[in-house]
């Protein structure tokens, strides 16, 4: 059946995000414990649009870190919290 990481990798590769971004996102998930990825597999399977949302969030965080823009970082975190609340509904 495959590991949760492998499932996430396959879902990301089937997504519409650019190949170079797919590789970065896959590497991000490679760092996680496979057991902890189960919910992400479910989320990406049930609603593949979350792959783009997670990718966009990750890219924004990278940009904020690279520039040292703490205001941007706070805005990203607030948007992330809003998205998480959306999932709870």
Q: Give residue-wise pLDDT tens across range 21-73.
A: 999 999 999 989 999 999 999 999 999 999 999 999 999 999 999 999 999 99
Tokens matching residue 4: 């949760």
Q: What is the pTM of this model?
A: 0.85
Q: Which residues of 66-78 are buried (b: 16+ CB within 10 A; e: fewer)?
A: eeeeeeebeebee
User: How confident is the model at residue 1, as a pLDDT?
Assistant: 46
């Amino acid at each position: 059946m495959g590991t949760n990481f492998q499932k996430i990798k396959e879902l990301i590769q089937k997504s519409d995000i650019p190949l170079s971004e797919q590789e970065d996102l896959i590497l991000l998930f490679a760092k996680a414990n496979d057991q902890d990825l189960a919910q992400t597999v479910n989320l990406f399977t049930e609603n593949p649009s979350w792959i783009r949302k997670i990718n966009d969030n990750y890219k924004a965080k990278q940009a904020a870190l690279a520039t040292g823009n703490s205001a941007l970082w706070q805005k990203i975190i607030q948007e992330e919290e809003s998205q998480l609340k959306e999932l709870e509904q």
